[in-house]
């Protein structure tokens, strides 16, 4: 009988934000499957508990800490809980994010503000919560879920694209500052993904219609298997980056459906 493949992140500790569903849940499950102990952060405590239960049922170790990434103290508390209960944090995955389809002329200013708060300040808060300790230990990996929208601008998504461009620029600056410190910095840039809750709270019906989506429904209906990614595909990109040899830096991973235009 062949021996089981070694788990490549055995003994590592990871923190994942936005971990209660969709891409974040898939990332947390994938990290745990590779042997990492995982601290899960998101606002929905009941959903987090369900993800923890899945990890524990699979023989892994995980904790849940209700966290709003916009609140700096809560992100620091998430990392502190991870350090106290699991050990020093080796991997941070800044995954929490929101996406609103809005036409600029319709001035959905509350949605603009929420996009900036979660997608930019949330990433900054995550970095601030782990960077000093990683620098002191001379090891660590900061991975942020960006988007192909951080590389090009889509109509009806001007504010979202701007927020993801911020993530790309911030990550590149951090990467350059961390040369020689032992810290790696990666952005994961997914295209369209099936069955996430990213667009569920949109309110600008005109903008959504221009993008061919329906408010209140997850993306997926009307698309074939080659036009959307699965959440596990994005999680696989995170694992690819996190398990690269120590001398290798995976700076960016652009992952799109084969038939996405």
Q: Which residues are catalytic?
A: 160
Strand order in the sheet with 252-255: 62-66, 37-42, 13-17, 91-94, 140-145, 183-190, 252-255
Alpha carbons 61 and 109: distance in angstroms, whole number: 41
Q: Which residues pair with 141 in a beta bridge?
A: 91, 184
For 156, counting Cβ atoms within 10 Å of its Cβ (0-12 exposed, 13-18 middle, 19+ buried), the class is buried
């Amino acid at each position: 009988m062949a021996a089981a493949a070694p788990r490549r992140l055995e003994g590592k500790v990871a923190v994942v934000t936005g971990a209660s569903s969709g891409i974040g849940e898939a990332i947390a499950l994938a990290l745990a499957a590779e042997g990492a102990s995982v601290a899960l952060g998101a606002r929905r405590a009941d959903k987090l508990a369900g993800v923890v239960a899945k990890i524990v049922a699979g023989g892994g170790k995980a904790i849940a800490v209700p966290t709003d990434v916009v609140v700096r103290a809560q992100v620091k508390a998430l990392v502190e809980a991870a350090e106290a209960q699991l050990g020093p944090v080796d991997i941070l995955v800044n995954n929490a994010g929101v996406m609103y389809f809005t036409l600029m002329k319709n001035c959905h200013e509350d949605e603009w503000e929420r996009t900036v708060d979660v997608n930019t300040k949330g990433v900054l808060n995550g970095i601030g919560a782990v960077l000093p300790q990683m620098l002191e230990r001379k090891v660590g990996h900061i991975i942020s879920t960006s988007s192909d929208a951080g590389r090009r601008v889509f109509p009806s998504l001007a504010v979202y694209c701007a927020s993801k461009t911020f993530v790309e620029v911030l990550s590149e600056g951090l990467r350059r500052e961390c040369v020689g410190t032992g810290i790696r910095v990666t952005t994961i840039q997914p295209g369209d993904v099936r069955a996430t809750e990213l667009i569920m709270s949109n309110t600008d019906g005109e903008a959504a219609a221009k993008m061919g989506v329906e408010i209140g429904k997850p993306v997926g209906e009307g698309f074939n298997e080659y036009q959307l990614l699965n959440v596990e595909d994005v999680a696989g990109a995170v694992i690819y980056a996190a398990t690269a040899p120590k001398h290798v830096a995976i700076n960016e991973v652009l992952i799109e459906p084969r038939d996405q235009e």
